[in-house]
Chain A
Amino acid sequence: MNLLVILLSAILVNNFVLVRFLGICPFMGVSKQVETALGMGLATTFVMVVASAATWLIQWFILEPFGLPFLQNVAFILVIASMVQLVEMFLHKTSPSLYRSMGIFLPLITTNCAILGLAIMAVQGGYTFIESVVFGLGGGLGFTLALVLLAGIREELRFSDVPKPLQGAGIAFIVAGLLSLAFSGFAGLV
């Protein structure tokens, strides 16, 4: 039950992008087409799950026992950067087709603040290992959902007559605002 609450909360109620404002850069940057949005979303979800497991281990088996909480930022971001690198190398070797579709997004994921944010929030929330991983999964799926929804709307927007200054980022932000408004309807779901 608790795991389900964490999962649903991360996907819908406290959606990483639309409610917590994490990962806005890729949200705006790669949401022009549904297909690329989905690829980016899934690649990010994958990294999030791996990173939430890795940072949990670092926090509770290295930083806490040795009294080094002040190294959290440095350690986490390095772990995330190396995780992204490992995932990239792994995909390159094992699944060239998946690598071709996800590969271009991977370097961008390191600086996606949703991943570092997720790791820090999981520590602050005092989550167990399993809870952290579920939180990572939920965060990633929520990110994917928001990204694909925005991309779907932006694909349609190409055929509509948007005032010139609003074209591009302007209208995308307003659409995101409306999505965020819709997502606030999920508040109190659980």
Chain B
Amino acid sequence: MSESVRMVVVLTVIAMVSAGILSQVYSVTSGIIEENAARELESSVFEVLPGISKVEIIKASPQDRLVEDDPKEMREEEQRITLIYQGLDDSGKAVGYAFVGEANGYGGAVRVLVGVGEETNKIVGLKILSHAETPGLGSRIEEETFRSQFIGKSVQDPIALGKDIDSISGATVSSRAVSEAVRRGFDEATAAYKGGN
């Protein structure tokens, strides 16, 4: 076997073995990873919707259709599905719903979870799920004083920086990311939730 053939063979074999092992490890772990993320999100729903005892997940497309029963359609619609977390109290009555909103901030995506009251249709809780903003500055979007501004807003309110939301001084981009994430998610979720029901 000539030198160059041997080089190609060895590299190919190593790469193939590596890909094989990794795909095995991935198939074992990916399920657990997704489960963890789903469980964590569900427990966050309890934080933004006070007084609930159970969470139900509703998959709704923006076109007012529930698509979870049709796998083929689900695949096509996958990108456009809005996940809505409905919070139920002890008697099984809906207390409100929560949705995830996302917008780009300074260091990457800012993800928020927003809880909305069933009857009032106003925001009752807001949690920052993840962000990569500057510590000590953009990261202040996590503080209560900033987050509490969103409480009580309904979908008709502007929810925009400079209108009814005050920016954190020195962290305009991060603040705007939060209000945009709430705004965008709120519109989608209201359409899907009210339509889906």
What residues of chain A have their CB less than 8 Å away from a CB belonging to chain B?
5, 9, 13-14, 19, 68-71, 74, 121, 124-126, 187-188, 190
CA A70 – CA B25 in complex, angstroms? 9
Q: Does B172 contact A (CB under 8 A)?
A: yes
What residues of A have a CB within 8 angstroms of the CB of B22 in the complex? 70-71, 74
What residues of chain B have their CB less than 8 Å away from a CB belonging to chain A?
15, 18-19, 22-23, 25-26, 104, 106-109, 134, 136-138, 169-173
Known interface pairs A14-B106, A74-B18; A187-B173 also in contact (CB < 8 Å): no
Task: Choose among B15, B23, B137, B173 the residue that contacts A70 (Cβ–Cβ < 8 A).
Answer: B23
Nearest Cβ in chain A — how far from B21, in angstroms?
Answer: 10
Q: Which residue of B lies closest to A5 (CB)?
A: B173
What residues of A have a CB within 8 angstroms of the CB of B23 in the complex? 68, 70
Are A190 and B172 in touch, CB under 8 angstroms? Answer: yes
27 contacts between A and B (CB under 8 A): A5-B173, A9-B106, A13-B106, A14-B106, A14-B134, A68-B23, A70-B22, A70-B23, A74-B15, A74-B19, A74-B22, A121-B108, A124-B108, A125-B104, A125-B107, A125-B109, A187-B134, A187-B136, A187-B170, A188-B134, A188-B138, A188-B170, A188-B171, A188-B172, A190-B106, A190-B172, A190-B173
- Which 9 A-B residue pairings sit nearest by Cβ, starting from the closest? A188-B170, A70-B26, A125-B108, A187-B137, A70-B22, A187-B134, A188-B137, A190-B173, A188-B171
What residues of A have a CB within 8 angstroms of the CB of B109 in the complex? 124-126
Q: Which residue of A lies closest to B19 (CB)?
A: A71
What residues of B have a CB within 8 angstroms of the CB of A71 in the complex? 19, 22
Q: Which residue of B lies closest to A73 (CB)?
A: B22
Nearest Cβ in chain A — how far from B171, in angstroms?
Answer: 6
Nearest Cβ in chain B — how far from A23, in angstroms?
Answer: 17
Q: Which residue of A lies closest to B21 (CB)?
A: A70
CA A140 – CA B109 in complex, angstroms? 22
What residues of B have a CB within 8 angstroms of the CB of A126 in the complex? 104, 108-109
What residues of A have a CB within 8 angstroms of the CB of B134 in the complex? 13-14, 19, 187-188
What residues of A have a CB within 8 angstroms of the CB of B173 in the complex? 5, 190
Are B171 and A14 in touch, CB under 8 angstroms? Answer: no
CA A74 – CA B18 in complex, angstroms? 9
Nearest Cβ in chain A — how far from B31, in angstroms?
Answer: 13
Q: Which residue of B lies closest to A14 (CB)?
A: B107
Q: Which residue of B lies closest to A69 (CB)?
A: B26
CA A190 – CA B134 in complex, angstroms? 12
What residues of B have a CB within 8 angstroms of the CB of A13 in the complex? 106, 134
CA A74 – CA B26 in complex, angstroms? 14
